[in-house]
């Protein structure tokens, strides 16, 4: 007798406590730069975080991500050097009045975090024609970013801090990590236990930017048309 296709299960709403936990993870998630402790990140916890990332939505179910776990201090030191070079260049791109504030910001925890993680996108995953990418080939990149967010929220629930370091020349990172040409580095993350977190985004707390009011960002039906 042929097997029946799997039937959908009920889409029950979460309990109030479960809902509160999800929103707590979202609203208290922070980009961690300087709060890492020296406690090691054990393999079981790391695998839970990677499992959460691997269950992210992906267009065409192509799952384009890979997870490059970096614990070697020599590799971290190379990445730190690449960051420092790019960061010095970045400072000069801002108006002179902002440069002192920029230089005071700690924008990475590469050598302090016990684990670094590079999440990548394999742009050949799934072959030449992939469901959902026929007219929007960039959807594999967006799918990989969803994996980053899944990992970040799971990490917050586990009490693990995550910091996204983006100030690199991509070619420098490629050479250090020996990435093949068809693989794109999506996110270079620093992971580790934290005892404290800022109560608001660190860049807001230090006066770099403020959160934009949500009502200023919502339109109705057409661009620029107020939802009010």
Are 54 and 180 contacting, i.e. CB atoms less than 8 angstroms apart? no
* pLDDT of 1 strictly over 70: no
**What pLDDT, on a 0 to 100 scale, did the predictor assign at position 7?**
79
Q: Residue 100: its pLDDT value, please?
A: 97
Q: What pLDDT does 119 receive?
A: 98
Determine how β-strand 160-165 pairs with β-strand 115-122.
unpaired
In terms of CATH architecture, what is 31-198?
3-Layer(aba) Sandwich (3.40)
For 113-123, write each residue's pLDDT tens digit: 999 999 999 99
Interatomic CA distance for residues 107 and 37, integer angstroms: 17
* Helix H or strand E encompassing 91: helix 73-91
pLDDT of residue 3: 74
What band does 182 get if pLDDT is binned at 50, 70 and 90? very high
- Cα(48)–Cα(114) distance, rounded to whole angstroms? 16
Per-residue model confidence as pLDDT tens digits over 183-199:
999 999 999 999 999 99
Rounded to the nearest integer, the mean pLDDT of the chain is 96
Angle in degrees, CA 75, 87, 206, rounded to 5: 115
Extents of the domains making up the chain:
31-198
Read off the pTM: 0.95
Residue corresponding to tokens 């959902």: 132
The pLDDT of residue 188 is 98
* Three-state SS at 125: coil
Instruction: Please tell me the distance from the alpha carbon of residue 218 to that of residue 227, in angstroms, as a whole number.
Output: 6
* pLDDT at residue 147 tops 80: yes
Percent of the chain with pLDDT over 70: 99
Indicate whether 144 pLDDT > 70: yes
| pLDDT for 201 beyond 90 | yes
């Amino acid at each position: 007798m042929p097997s029946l296709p799997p039937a959908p299960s009920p889409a029950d709403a979460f309990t109030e406590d479960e809902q509160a936990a999800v929103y707590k993870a979202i609203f208290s998630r922070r980009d961690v730069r300087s709060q890492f402790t020296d406690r090691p990140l054990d393999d079981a916890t790391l695998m839970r975080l990677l499992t959460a990332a691997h269950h992210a939505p992906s267009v065409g179910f192509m799952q384009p991500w890979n997870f490059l776990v970096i614990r070697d201090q020599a590799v971290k030191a190379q990445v730190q050097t690449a960051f420092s070079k790019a960061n010095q260049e970045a400072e000069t791109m801002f108006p002179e009045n902002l440069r002192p504030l920029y230089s005071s910001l700690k924008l990475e925890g590469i050598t302090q975090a016990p684990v670094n993680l590079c999440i990548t996108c394999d742009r050949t995953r799934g072959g030449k024609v992939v469901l959902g990418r026929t007219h929007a080939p960039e959807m594999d990149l967006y799918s990989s970013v969803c994996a980053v967010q899944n990992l970040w929220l799971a990490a917050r629930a586990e009490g693990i801090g995550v910091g996204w370091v983006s100030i690199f020349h991509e070619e420098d990172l490629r050479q250090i990590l020996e990435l093949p040409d068809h693989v794109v580095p999506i996110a270079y993350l620093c992971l580790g236990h934290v005892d404290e977190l800022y109560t608001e985004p660190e860049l807001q707390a230090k006066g770099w930017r403020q959160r934009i009011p949500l009502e200023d960002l919502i339109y109705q039906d057409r661009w620029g048309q107020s939802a009010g």
